[in-house]
């Protein structure tokens, strides 16, 4: 278990970048935490650390955004509007598990039953001050 305290959005992006450097293609990262916790910020840092230079925004309406990085394809999901695992069939969920793709899953609490046992979890909570966050990373022999 790794716990990181951040005090601004840039530090959370850096935490995402550090995790990116430890993972291999095929990994799945399941995020939990409220709206505005910093999940997308963490994913932005993750993608930039893998050499993606463009904009990284929330895939709330698209459900999934795909990025080509120097390491592999990264698919960034937002399950906020996915109310149960059944709805995942509509987006071809199983096809994303090709072993060559890293999956980043925001609002993973909505699809817990569809997540592999072998996953990294990242929980982001607010801390004492307005911009403080506590990031807890578990799984994956980190
Ligand atoms: P989520 O994807 O969890 O809904 P976002 O990453 O989209 O959250 O938004 C986080 C918001 O909180 C941004 O507006 C960001 O500027 C702000 N923020 C303030 N402090 C932090 C911090 N320590 N880490 C991440 N975001 C922060
Ligand atoms: Mg988000």
| Single pTM value for the model | 0.97
- Each residue's pLDDT tens digit, 80-121: 999 889 899 889 999 999 999 999 999 999 999 999 999 999
CATH number of 2-139: 3.40.50.300
Mean pLDDT by runs of 10 across the 142 residues of the chain is: 98 98 98 98 98 94 95 97 90 96 97 96 98 97 81
pLDDT of 98 = 97
- Give the chain's radius of gyration (CA, Å): 14
pLDDT of 36 = 97
Residues with CB under 6 A from ligand 1: 6-9, 11-12, 33, 35-41, 58, 106, 131, 133
Residues lining ion ligand 2 (Cβ < 5 A) are 39-40, 58, 106
Pocket test for ligand 1, best of 3, 4, 9 (most atoms within 8 A of CB): 9
pLDDT of 89 = 87
Break the chain into its structural domains and give their ranges: 2-139
- Distance from CA of residue 106 to its chain's centroid? 6
């Amino acid at each position: 278990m790794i716990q990181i305290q951040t005090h601004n959005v840039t530090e959370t992006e850096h935490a995402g970048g550090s995790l990116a450097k430890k993972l291999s293609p095929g990994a799945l990262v399941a995020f939990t935490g409220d709206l505005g916790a910093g999940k997308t910020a963490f994913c932005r840092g993750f993608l930039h650390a893998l050499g993606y230079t463009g904009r990284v925004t929330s895939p709330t309406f698209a459900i999934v955004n795909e990025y080509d990085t120097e390491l592999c394809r990264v698919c960034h999901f937002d399950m906020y509007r996915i109310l149960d695992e059944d709805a995942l069939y509509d987006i071809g969920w199983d096809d994303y598990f090709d072993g060559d793709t890293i999956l980043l899953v925001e609002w993973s609490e909505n699809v817990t039953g569809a997540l592999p046992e072998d996953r990294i979890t990242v929980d982001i909570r607010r801390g004492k001050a307005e911009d403080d966050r506590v990031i807890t990373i578990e799984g994956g022999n980190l």
